[in-house]
Amino acid sequence: MRRLAVLTSGGDAPGMNAAIRAVVEEGLHHNIEVIGVQQGYKGLVEGNFRPLGINSVSQAIRRGGTILYSARFPEFSQLSVQEKAVQVMEENGIEGLIAIGGDGTFRGALALTKLGFPAVGIPATIDNDIPGTEYTIGFDSAFSAATTAIDMISDTAASHNRTFVVEVMGHNAGDIAIWAGVAVGADAIIIPEEEYFMGDIARRVRTSRKHGKDHGLIILAEGVMGVEDFVAAYSEEAPEQDVRGVNLSHIQRGGSPTGRDRVFATLMGAKSVDLILHGQSGIYVGIIGEELAVFDMIDTLASSKHKVRDDLFELNQALTDRY
């Protein structure tokens, strides 16, 4: 193999650039040319390519977002569009693809594999919702950004003895809500994976206020409902509380990646190149514990569910269940 392509697709995630940089550096280490595909699968079909060298990636490790841009491109589910992508890559002498992104990105990579084109995935999404791996690039940065933002909100919440409901991202997964919720000592964490009762949430906030806490904090995962609807329903249940709602929205997807995201992205980026050079395809590189692990994309995409950390959720429930 002489020439590899790398792309990022789906929602951007801090650390994607660190993975791109590792792919380029590992490629150079093996004397392979790495071509950057701009705007994900859309750019692949359009031949929107640019060569990547050390000069284009050396500073990228500390930058959020993706230097290759990203796009959502549902048309890539069509066979004719996938075949066109293979044709464009072959015309450009590209012999393999590293695809960085979430499950939609893996679906695209798997389709190329089925057409006989080598493709390997790297999991990158702030939602942490890919079955198999315990870790996806961007999650650590996103939950840390959410934690910082909620800490700021806590200052003003405490000054006015208010209850704040903070909506965080996560698509249909509660990971950001659980981790940020534990990190800020939330009174309640509301996630799609667990039932909740407004009366019980109000009781938790009330009892913590009774024991001297000067504000209330409820962390709401976006997959449950929007913060405005939640605040309306909660205020009926707790009319004595002065309640405000905040949606952290895309703030938590931006910014410089954490050291942890950079390190794991670097590990996975380098490994993906080694695997594709050894003839592997239709797989993705993930993390179990602190170690690299390799997963089959077919199994991953067929598997119904990513699992959230129930133990952390239960711990927070226990800590906030006061009398």
Give SS3 for 96.
strand
Q: Examine the residue annotation and report whether 127 is marked as an active-site residue of this protein.
A: yes
Strand order across the beta sheet in which 119-123 lies = 49-52, 33-37, 3-8, 96-101, 119-123, 283-288, 291-296
162 is in an annotated binding site: yes
Closest to ligand F6P by CB, 51 or 226: 226
Q: In angstroms, rounded to a whole number, what is the distance separating the alpha carbons of residues 119 and 113?
A: 6
Annotated catalytic residue within 12, 127, 140, 175? 127
Closest to ligand F6P by CB, 14 or 36: 14
Instruction: Confirm if 237 and 205 have CB atoms less than 8 A apart.
Output: no
Closest to ligand F6P by CB, 8 or 281: 8
Q: In angstroms, what is the minimal distance from the CB of 66 to ligand F6P?
A: 13
186 is in an annotated binding site: yes
Q: In angstroms, rounded to a whole number, what is the distance separating the alpha carbons of residues 236 and 88?
A: 58
Q: In angstroms, rounded to a whole number, what is the distance separating the alpha carbons of residues 95 and 75?
A: 23
Residue from 11, 5, 6 nearest 101 by CA: 11
Q: In angstroms, what is the minimal distance from the CB of 56 to ligand F6P?
A: 25
Q: In angstroms, what is the minimal distance from the CB of 253 to ligand F6P?
A: 5
Closest to ligand F6P by CB, 199 or 254: 254
Backbone φ and ψ for 10, nearest 5 degrees, come out as 80, -160
72 is in an annotated binding site: yes
313 is in an annotated binding site: no
Give the residues lining the site for ligand F6P (CB under 6 A).
Answer: 11, 125-127, 169-171, 222, 253
289 is in an annotated binding site: no
Closest to ligand F6P by CB, 25 or 127: 127
Tell me which residue has tokens 């000069």.
55
Give SS3 for 216.
strand
278 is in an annotated binding site: no
Kindly state the tokens that stand for 233: 């329903």
Q: In angstroms, what is the minimal distance from the CB of 172 to ligand F6P?
A: 8
Quote the Cα angle for 298-95-41, to 5°: 60
Quote the Cα angle for 159-163-169, to 5°: 115
Q: In angstroms, rounded to a whole number, what is the distance separating the alpha carbons of residues 220 and 199?
A: 15
105 is in an annotated binding site: yes
Q: In angstroms, what is the minimal distance from the CB of 280 to ligand F6P?
A: 26
Q: In angstroms, what is the minimal distance from the CB of 217 to ligand F6P?
A: 20
Cα within 13 Å of Cα(180), Cβ side: 36
Instruction: Confirm if 261 and 126 have CB atoms less than 8 A apart.
Output: no
Quote the Cα angle for 11-125-289, to 5°: 175
Closest to ligand F6P by CB, 68 or 169: 169
Binding residues for ATP: 11, 72-73, 102-105
Binding residues for ADP: 185-187, 213-215
Catalytic residues: 127
Binding residues: 11, 72-73, 102-105, 125-127, 162, 169-171, 185-187, 213-215, 222, 244, 250-253
